[in-house]
Amino acid sequence: MSVSISNSDSALKLLLALVPEAQKELTVDAVADQLSRLTLDGQVVEGTNSVAQLLAAKYNSALAGKTDAEKAEVSQWLTMSARHGQSERQIFAQTINEHLAGKTYIVSNSVTLADIVVFGNIHAFMETLSAQKRFNWSNFSRWFDLIQHSVSEDALAKAGLKLVAIDLNAPVPAKKQPAAPAKADKADKAIPAAEGKKKNKQEGQEGKDAQKDSQKEGKKEKKEKKEKKQPAAAKEELKIEPSMIDLRVGHIVNVKKHEDADSLYVESIELGEPEPRTVVSGLVRFIPIEQMQNRDVVLVCNLKPVAMRGVKSFAMVLCATSPDGNTVEFVEPPKGSKPGDRVYFEGFEGREPEEVLKPKLKIFETIQPGLFTNESREAGWYDEEKKFHKLLVNGSVCTTATVAKGTLK
């Protein structure tokens, strides 16, 4: 029985340090630039999430969740925490902060795999945050500080981690430097003989100034009356809804591997527009190229175009990721769908999407944490009341081939 842990896999190193029984039984190897792998009781699994869940099942089942509902939620958090990149980490940290309002731990009333793996994956990101940002995300920072002090410094060191100084008090604003005293005007040193001339000029100027002041007062009164008649309109708060996302059926007419990136495909996708759209997708590890050809897919069409290794992508293919993170599949439109057909969420029919999703508004990032497949492999969105809105095309639901209770992105 052995476990090979990637050098960069802090989450799995931390978990192993917290399960002494596993350390006694397993041969532990370090590997570079590979997925972590566990061989246990004849089973071989790869990837942080799969290895963590199998270790928990063998040595400490409570870490995986005490009920079926908790186990499913732990899996979802493990999947979300596996996404890398600074922007995705920021969105994920904000999601944790909102989720932890009124909660101590991510899933249960005690530490689970969700807390350990998320902490290990998010640790480097926390080190980059300013004191102000940590204060703004107080729930996230409070949870992080709790977890890092729930394990020994020795366990942190074995995972290649260190304590991060967390101060939940509001940062003290920097004091403004006092303005330098103005230099004495040369006029202050003028000889007294000039005072007589100044006095005569001042007397003449006083009359002119009085007249100007009277005119200014009149204009000021008129301006104030005009402003009172036209009060400024109050800004309406933007309500973010899934209907803002432009989802449409697409058909892949051509696909090839990216010339400068082994993990990327470059697809040409028909949308019922004058020309197919070029789309870049990181699916090489999960979907063979022959299974990419002539496929109907669901596209997010109003994201801001982005260049990926020199090729500009004009949409994003919507996919489902299994709870263990090992399977990624297309969200498939129902049979009979045509390129360009509108894809919408149940209960949000007939609403026009945004022309372009402005990055500053974070519309997709706000909706995405609620995108899942249910136990029947139907795609949809959970609102704040946990109501599931199915993803539909002409009244029929979009599905996946095998992924149930997976996240969508």
- Residue pLDDT, tens place only, 148-185: 988 888 888 888 898 998 887 766 666 666 666 555 44
Name which residue leads in pLDDT, 193 or 174: 174
**Whether the predicted pLDDT of 186 surpasses 50:** no
Q: What percent of the chain has pLDDT over 90?
A: 33
Predicted local distance difference test score (pLDDT) of residue 13: 86
Confidence of residue 223 (pLDDT cuts 50, 70, 90): low
Residue type, position 403, single letter:
V
Instruction: Please give the full DSSP string across 75-101, using - where no structure is assigned.
Output: HHHHHHHT--SHHHHHHHHHHHHHHTT
Q: How confident is the model at residue 24 (pLDDT cuts 50, 70, 90)?
A: confident
pLDDT score, position 354: 92
Mean of all residue pLDDT scores within the chain: 82
- Specify the higher pLDDT residue, 77 or 391: 391
Beta strand extents in 95-180 (DSSP E only): none
pLDDT at 292: 94
Nearest of 42, 125, 135 to residue 87 by alpha carbon: 125
Query: Tokens representing 313?
Result: 């992508």
Interval 351-378 mean pLDDT: 89
Whether residue 302 contacts residue 357, with contact meaning beta carbons closer than 8 Å, is answered with yes
Is there a contact between 117 and 49 (Cβ–Cβ < 8 Å)?
yes
Confidence of residue 58 (pLDDT cuts 50, 70, 90): confident
SS3 344: strand
Q: pLDDT category, 266, cuts 50, 70, 90?
A: very high
Question: Which of the residue ranges 200-204, 260-264, 321-325, 380-384 would you say has the lowest mean pLDDT?
Answer: 200-204
288-307: average pLDDT: 93
pLDDT of residue 361: 84
Could you tell me the sign of the dihedral formed by the alpha carbons of 201, 204, 207, 212, in that order?
negative
119-137 pLDDT tens trace: 988 898 999 988 888 888 8
Residue 197, pLDDT above cutoff 60: no
Determine whether 60 is exposed, middle or buried from the number of CB atoms within 10 Å of its CB (0-12, 13-18, 19+): middle
Q: How far apart are CA 172 and CA 132, in angstroms?
A: 9
Work out the average pLDDT over 228-248. 73
Mean pLDDT of 301-314: 90
Least confident range from 214-218, 275-279, 405-409: namely 214-218
Which pLDDT score, from 0 to 100, does residue 315 have? 94
Q: Is 60 helix (H, G, I), strand (E, B) or coil?
A: coil
Q: What is the pLDDT averaged over residues 337-342? A: 96
Instruction: Identify the pLDDT of residue 187.
Output: 46
The pLDDT assigned to 220 comes to 55
| pLDDT above 70 for 288 | yes
High-pLDDT (> 70) share of the chain, %? 79
Task: Give the pLDDT score at 276.
Answer: 95
Alpha helices in 41-81 (DSSP H): 48-59, 68-81
